[in-house]
Structure 1
Amino acid sequence: MSLSANKWSDLRARVLSALVLVLVGAAAIWLGGIWFHVFVALVGGGMMWELTRMLGGGPKVAIPIGALAGVAMVCVPYVPWEFKLPVLLAVTFAGVSQLKKDRLIYLAYGSALMLSCYGLIVLRDVRGIYWVLWLVSVVVATDVAGYFAGRTLGGPKFWPKVSPKKTWSGTVAGWIAAAGVGLVFGGLPLVVLSMLTSLASQMGDAAESAIKRRSGVKDSSDLIPGHGGLLDRFDAMMAGALFVLLLGAVLGLPAL
Structure 2
Amino acid sequence: MSEELRLRILSSIVLIPLVLGATWLGDIAFRAISALIGLLIYYEWSTITGLADKSLRGNAWGWLSIVVVCLNLLFGSPDMTLPLLSGFVVTVLILAILGRVCGWLPGGIAYAGLSAVSLAAIRGDDAVGFSAMIFVFVIVWATDILAYFVGRAIGGPKLAPRISPGKTWSGAIGGTIAGVIGGLLVALTIFQTVSVWNVAVALLLSVSSQIGDLFESFIKRRFGVKDSSRLIPGHGGVMDRVDGLVFACFAAFFLAIIYAAIDARSVDTLGSFLFGL
Q: TM-score of the superposition, structure 1-length normalised?
A: 0.83
Confirm or deny: 8 A CA contact 1:224 1:230 kept in the other structure. yes
Residue 22 (structure 2) pairs with residue 20 (structure 1): no
Q: How much has 1:94 moved relative to structure 2?
A: 8.0
Provide the residue aligned with 2:106 in structure 1. Answer: 107
TM-score, normalized by length of structure 2?
A: 0.77
RMSD: 3.1
The answer to whether the aligner puts 1:233 opposite 2:227 as a matched pair is no
Unaligned runs of 5+ in 1: 1-7
Question: 1:78/1:233 Cα in 2 relative to 1: closer, same or farther (>3 Å)?
Answer: same
State the Cα distance separating 1:214 from its structure 2 match. 1.0
Tell me which moved more, 57-66 or 127-136. Answer: 57-66
Tell me, in whole angstroms, the C-alpha distance in 1 between the residues paired with 2:225 and 2:13. 26
Inter-partner Cα distance in structure 1 for 2:221 and 2:228: 10
Report the count of equivalent residues.
249
User: 1:202/1:122 Cα in 2 relative to 1: closer, same or farther (>3 Å)?
Assistant: same
The DSSP-based 3-state class of the residue aligned with 2:226 is coil
SS class of match (1:220): coil
Deviation, 1:74, is 3.5
Question: 1:199 and 1:39, CA in 2 relative to 1: closer, same or farther beyond 3 A?
Answer: same
Deviation of 1:224 after TM superposition, in Å, equals: 1.6
Which one has the largest radius of gyration?
2
SS of aligned partner of 2:159: strand
Match in the other structure for 2:264: none
Q: Is the 8 A contact 1:76 1:87 kept in 2?
A: no
- Distance, in Å, in 2 between the alignment partners of 1:9 and 1:95 is 42
Q: For residue 144 of structure 1, what is the amino acid of its counterpart?
A: I
Work out the CA distance in 1 between the residues paired with 2:12 and 2:121: 24
Which of residues 18, 21, 43 is equivalent to 1:49? 43
2:136–2:183 contact (8 Å) kept in structure 1: no
Contact 1:43-1:230 at 8 Å conserved across structures:
yes
Aligned to 1:203: 211
Structure 1 residues 200-255: Cα deviation after superposition (integer angstroms, max 9, x where no partner): 01111111111111111111111123321101111111100010011122235443
Identity in percent = 34
Name segments (4+ residues, structure 1) moved above 6 Å: 93-96, 98-101
Stretch of structure 1 that moved more, 15-24 or 151-160: 15-24
Residue 58 of structure 1 aligns to a residue whose secondary structure is: helix
